[in-house]
Structure 1
Amino acid sequence: MDDDAWGTRGAQRRVAEPAKDPGTGRTPFQRDRARVLHSAGFRRLAAKTQVITGGQDDFLRTRLTHSLEVAQIAREMGVALGADPDVVDTAGLAHDLGHPPFGHNGEDALDEVARAAGGFEGNAQTLRVVSRLEAKVPGAGLNLTRATLDAITKYPWERKPGTRKFGVYRDDLPVFHWYRDDAPQDKRCLEAQIMDWADDVAYSVHDLEDGVHAGHVRIELLADPDERLALCADVARAYSPESPSDLQTVLDELLAEPVVNGLAGYDGSYLAQSRLKHVTSALVGRLSAVAVRATREKAGPEPLRGYAADLIVPRTIRAECALLKGLALRYVMNRPGADARYEWQREILVTLVEALLRKAPDELDPVFAPLWRSAPDDAARLRVVIDQVASLTDPAAVAWHDRLTGA
């Protein structure tokens, strides 16, 4: 990609559109942001699980609030590094559009049931949503610019043997090759790297905040050396290449930070909430600012964009972020009783897919029924059903399941 932000090529759309009124002064990337913000898929994120399931707490975050927070963090990092702020902002807003009901648990369930169609992956589904399924430009979804599509792409490759993360399904390769035709193979642009780190920062810090507020995470438990070691073992298995002993060193240093003391003794009072919010702000600032500073130290003071530089996140900071994620994993996602709920969620989605395969196209939304009828084979019809189920909110998935199965 060339000069002046992403350059002329970066602002191109796959389907030509009539010229826009130049009097508004809006750039193509500002229009991209508006398209995502006003999309149906973005609104549905309000009723999709982040970590704590909706209906359990009026303080909780959803995929919608999480996406807004990711966009805000990414935008500030992008400004600091000289990237186009609207490109990174839009990537943050759009990054979870492909996530199905019930968060990552739902993603795993749909991946299993969609094997015959190439599986399911939330990031690949995001590309499918913005480039095909959203209603804006027929045949092109939101018809976003090359630069924005590239910035949304966390994993710029097809599914590979032995890997769980990928960014494009086989039948979406034409648009993928179009916007990445001059990009280095398997390499993410800087804007995608910023969005990905902003996602990690928001996920780790804000899920911790929600867990503390809900009473699931009690930092006092980590006074026990055995508990600290168990947490580090969880993190090494799930989130980090570091050894448990190396993680324990980082954890000890993190717990010694004065700001982390604000997590202790949380009782939900006004002052406790103020302390918790201070911890949240400090941790977000720490994790994002260190990455910006390290990147600048290596790349210099010039504006950075496209493939001109990589985001540098120091090893210790990555370990800190992983440990914060691990607190939500150990004390929220893996808390007693959670397994039964996760199994119920998986059963809802798997049974719903099976019911729709039997009853399609009559029971599909008007958006998806024509796609079913025009699908050339069973795998393509399965993909349409997966698209339908992935589009649903958590409550809608339960309601569809109960209606179609008579539950």
Structure 2
Amino acid sequence: MEGITDTSGQDTPADTPGYDSAATERWDTEPDKRPGRTAFQRDRARVLHSAALRRLAGKTQVVTPGTRGHAWDASPRTRLTHSLECAQVGRELGAALGCDPDLVEAACLSHDMGHPPFGHNGEQALNDVAKDCGGFEGNAQSLRLLTRIEPKRFVKDADGELVSVGLNLTRAALDAATKYPWPRGAHPEDPGSPKFGVYEDDLPVFAWIREGAPAHRKCFEAQVMDWSDDVAYSVHDFEDGLHAGHIDPNLLLAEPERADIAAVAIGRYVPEDTDPQELAEALDRLVDQEWWPHGYDGSAVAQARLKDATSQLIGRFCLAAEGATRQAYGSGGLTRYGAELVVPREARNECAVLKAVADRYVMQRPQQEALRADQRIVVAELAEALVARAPDGLEPQFRSLFDAARDDRARKRVIVDQIASLTDASARALHAALRPHHS
């Protein structure tokens, strides 16, 4: 963190087998108020009790609340429930492979914290807003939240001023939450990729996190988190789409529909050179399972069968990764940079097919584009109004950061930080308050 004296050191937590003192080090040394806990139990608790995690309850995952046909079935997943489910998947998969389960759970809980209102659509709109201050990326914003924005621990900078170091998590926890360990434009295979994990002004803490790590390589726990994320959202988005009535499982047997699904998947969820026949075979493997939710009609029996199908799918994908990884590395504990998570191609294709089904039938519905266009307008106009009025319109936390910012680029980043912190509803409310003639 720029301008902050590194007072890093290790506190004295209970043992964390498989992890050395560098892994359990914090940027700022602090005593444990409850001796006997491991460093990673502390990390998990801090993430779980954070305001940033709670705010995910107000951020849409895929199906917008209120779009289902029955009052008793009006609770689609949010970013918060997705994160909780991802954490459950990751904790068990990580533990089975010898990772510290609290460490993996903390990474899974925090992996989506930086997502702005309106999901990936809001992310793209905010990236346009932030083009003159380094862009916007949800994963880079998550790191920023964990290490700077979420108020938990403060230290004095070189001038004696108090500055936030965020949740002051361990090096291993921050590394495990880093899905893309490189800055903007530094993707190891595709420099033009929009995916990156750190903004320019957060590079000092990023360098500390990555001390001793191989360049561009995700630690093992981050790989477990990443696959758990894929598993959770592919399976649960499919489940939500069925509940909402947007997905008819019978259509997945029709050849034109299957071709559409493959077209959505290729390039977005699987490599460009993937043979569509591979995806057709992946879909066939799923549809041919006894537990597949054929003929889903929303009845209680059908809902129970669907819930069993989601459990079967999660188990299928996790066991595939666990088995292949164990075959490659044996039965010992796998941590940090001692292994790579091995996910069989067949499992990745099956997961990708589920993602493509939700994409095709939920995200690509005609009314969704009108909604997305309106959401982009809200983000753009909200940013325009805040830039024109700031510090008026900023919450106290961001107002003080705006006042202390050294230049226009830093002030713009503060405005982006505030917008990113908003829920869907609070973004619309602030937009209406600042631009009432457009509400």
TM-score normalised by L of structure 1: 0.97
What does residue range 200-279 of structure 1 map to in structure 2 within 5 Å? 200-241=230-271, 242-260=274-292, 262=293, 264-279=294-309
Q: How far apart are the structure 1 equivalents of 2:174 and 2:29?
A: 16
1:102 aligns with 2:102: no
Q: How far apart are the structure 1 equivalents of 2:65 and 2:379?
A: 17
Q: How far apart are the structure 2 equivalents of 1:266 and 1:325?
A: 18
1:16 aligns with 2:8: no
Letter in 2 for 1:173: L
Deviation of the 1:73 alpha carbon: 0.3
**Partner SS, residue 338 of structure 2:** coil
Letter in 2 for 1:14: W
CA contact (8 A) 1:47 1:54 kept: no
CA contact (8 A) 2:16 2:38 kept: no
Deviation of the 1:252 alpha carbon: 2.3
1:45 aligns with 2:74: no
Gaps of 5+ in 1: none
Q: How far apart are the structure 2 equivalents of 1:389 and 1:21?
A: 35
Deviation of the 1:3 alpha carbon: 8.5
CA contact (8 A) 1:59 1:210 kept: no
Gaps of 5+ in 2: 1-14, 69-73, 155-163, 186-190
CA-to-aligned-CA distance 1:103-156 (integer Å, 9 cap, x gap) = 111111111111111111000000000100001002210000001000000000
Q: How far apart are the structure 2 equivalents of 1:268 and 1:250?
A: 25
Corresponding residue number in structure 2 for 1:59? 75
CA contact (8 A) 1:156 1:186 kept: yes
Q: How far apart are the structure 1 equivalents of 2:337 and 2:16?
A: 12
CA-to-aligned-CA distance 1:289-313 (integer Å, 9 cap, x gap) = 1101100000011111000000000
Out of 89, 103, 114, the position equivalent to 1:73 is 89
More helix by share: 1
Out of 71, 92, 103, the position equivalent to 2:108 is 92
CA contact (8 A) 1:91 1:148 kept: yes
**Partner SS, residue 386 of structure 1:** helix
Corresponding residue number in structure 2 for 1:152? 177
Letter in 2 for 1:268: G
**Partner SS, residue 7 of structure 1:** coil
**Partner SS, residue 72 of structure 1:** helix
Out of 142, 159, 181, the position equivalent to 2:167 is 142
CA contact (8 A) 2:53 2:113 kept: yes
CA contact (8 A) 1:130 1:142 kept: yes
1:191 aligns with 2:221: yes
Q: How far apart are the structure 1 equivalents of 2:18 and 2:133?
A: 38
Letter in 1 for 2:200: R
Deviation of the 1:257 alpha carbon: 2.1
Out of 95, 113, 132, the position equivalent to 2:129 is 113
**Partner SS, residue 289 of structure 1:** helix
CA contact (8 A) 2:65 2:75 kept: no
Deviation of the 1:19 alpha carbon: 4.6
Q: Per the alignment, do residues 330 and 19 of structure 1 end up closer, same or farther by CA in structure 2, a change over 3 Å counting? A: closer
CA contact (8 A) 1:117 1:379 kept: yes
Report sequence identity in percent: 55
**Partner SS, residue 93 of structure 2:** helix
Q: How far apart are the structure 1 equivalents of 2:132 and 2:193?
A: 17
CA contact (8 A) 1:250 1:320 kept: yes
1:35 aligns with 2:46: yes
Q: Per the alignment, do residues 358 and 276 of structure 1 end up closer, same or farther by CA in structure 2, a change over 3 Å counting? A: same
